[in-house]
């Protein structure tokens, strides 16, 4: 450049930007010795360990006395003996460079966080959720197990069972009966997804093989995240906080089955669910909810026309939720609709 070369052409020849070259000239005026001063570039470091020092660190770490110790314990032991070979960070750097810095011990290595299960249902028999809860018995320490499978879109209980143990075989038979009752075939274009938590019965190979035969996909909650299976948890709370829930433990399995059968019949056919605009799960499941909500909107509109002063803005929204999510995506992650503007 001192001989008249253009700075832009010199920067292009060096593979750097023009502003980078100008910054170098301002920072190192009179000291442009041709050294690559980009961040991360290879350059001479005066205090860098020599090859002999690096080899000494490597030999020290591989001695029988220190072979099972990390550098954080080797360095203090050497200091107690009056020896200093390098810092703890230098030990780690040398071990990493030679491929000897690996995880030790029998503990399981850190796992990558499990992705958030995002399940979407816009119709019945697309996403089911199931779980198991305890039912108390008169004998202390002995429980009954209530199995409940719910359709996430319609909130309908599609299958249930009461057993004396938590068994994946019982769960597999329960899902099989539910698929037969709801006419879930393996040849469906959109396979059914069965969502559950991480219990032993949910992850058992028996249930997995049965679901493969039925063409049902599995989905699991994240570990220690209770709200990844919200519909089953909400159903259990509805069941156990009902006014007719027995105040005393169940005396037998038959007594528990009678109560659960009564509850499921009430829940599916008489309970007006707040999450689906106060229609019953059965009405939403078989397609009657749209007509019911349309009739409600007509009634409200007629009432508004008769007494318009009592309505400040609009009538109550009776529109059925079209899509139901387990862990819906954030509004920022959802694609925004494209708006086309016509030219005048």
pLDDT digits (tens, 9 = 90+) for 208-223: 999 999 999 999 999 8
Mean of the per-residue pLDDT values of the chain: 89
Check pLDDT > 70 for residue 180: yes
| CA gap 53, 47 in Å, rounded | 12
Helix (H, G, I), strand (E, B) or coil at 173: helix
* Per-domain boundaries in the chain: 51-97, 119-251, 289-323
Check pLDDT > 90 for residue 294: yes
Helix (H, G, I), strand (E, B) or coil at 232: helix
For 236-278, the pLDDT digits (tens) are 999 999 999 999 999 999 999 999 999 999 999 999 999 999 9
Note the pLDDT of residue 330.
Answer: 81
Check pLDDT > 70 for residue 342: no
Band of residue 332 on the pLDDT scale cut at 50, 70, 90: low
Looking at the chain, the whole-number percentage of residues with pLDDT higher than 90 is 68
Band of residue 149 on the pLDDT scale cut at 50, 70, 90: very high
**Intra-chain end-to-end CA distance of the chain, in Å:** 55
CATH class of 119-251: alpha beta
| Residue showing tokens 């007629």 | 302
Please list, in sequence order, all residues whose beta carbon lies within 8 angstroms of the beta carbon of residue 155, skipping any fewer than 6 positions away: 231, 235, 273, 275, 276, 281, 284
For 72-89, the pLDDT digits (tens) are 999 999 999 999 999 999
What distances in angstroms separate CA 69 from CA 25, 65, 66, 82, 106, one per listed residue?
48, 8, 5, 19, 15
Note the pLDDT of residue 338.
Answer: 43
pTM: predicted TM-score of the whole model, two decimal places: 0.69
Q: Which residue, 300, 256, 293, 15, is CA-closest to 148? A: 256
Note the pLDDT of residue 344.
Answer: 41
């Amino acid at each position: 450049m001192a001989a008249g070369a253009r700075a832009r052409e010199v920067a292009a020849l060096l593979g750097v930007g023009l502003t980078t070259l100008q910054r170098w000239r301002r920072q190192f005026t009179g000291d442009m010795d041709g050294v690559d001063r980009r961040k991360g570039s290879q350059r001479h470091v005066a205090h860098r360990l020599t090859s002999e020092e690096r080899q000494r660190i490597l030999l020290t770490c591989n001695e029988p006395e220190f072979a099972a110790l990390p550098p954080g314990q080797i360095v203090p032991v050497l200091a107690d003996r009056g020896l200093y070979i390098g810092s703890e960070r230098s030990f780690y750097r040398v071990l990493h460079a030679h491929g000897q810095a690996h995880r030790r011990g029998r503990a399981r290595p850190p796992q990558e966080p499990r992705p958030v299960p995002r399940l979407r249902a816009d119709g019945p028999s697309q996403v089911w959720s199931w779980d198991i809860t305890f039912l108390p018995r008169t004998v202390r320490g002995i429980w009954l197990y209530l199995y409940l499978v719910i359709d996430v879109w319609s909130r309908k209980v599609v299958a249930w069972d009461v057993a004396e143990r938590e068994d994946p075989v019982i769960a597999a038979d329960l899902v099989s009966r539910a698929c037969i009752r709801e006419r879930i075939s393996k040849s469906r274009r959109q396979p059914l997804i069965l969502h559950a938590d991480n219990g032993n019965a949910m992850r058992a190979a028996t249930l997995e093989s049965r679901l493969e035969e039925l063409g049902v996909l599995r989905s699991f909650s994240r570990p220690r995240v209770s709200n990844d299976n919200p519909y089953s948890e909400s159903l259990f709370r509805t069941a156990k906080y009902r006014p007719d829930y027995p105040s005393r433990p169940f005396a037998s399995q038959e007594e528990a089955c009678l109560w659960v059968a009564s509850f499921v019949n009430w829940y599916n056919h008489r309970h007006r669910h707040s999450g689906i605009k106060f229609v019953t799960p059965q009405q939403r499941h078989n397609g009657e909810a749209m007509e019911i909500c349309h009739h409600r909107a007509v009634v409200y509109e007629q009432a508004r026309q008769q007494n318009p002063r009592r309505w400040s803005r609009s009538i109550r929204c009776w529109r059925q939720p079209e899509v139901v999510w387990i862990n819906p995506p954030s509004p920022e992650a959802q694609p925004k609709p494209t708006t086309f503007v016509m030219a005048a």
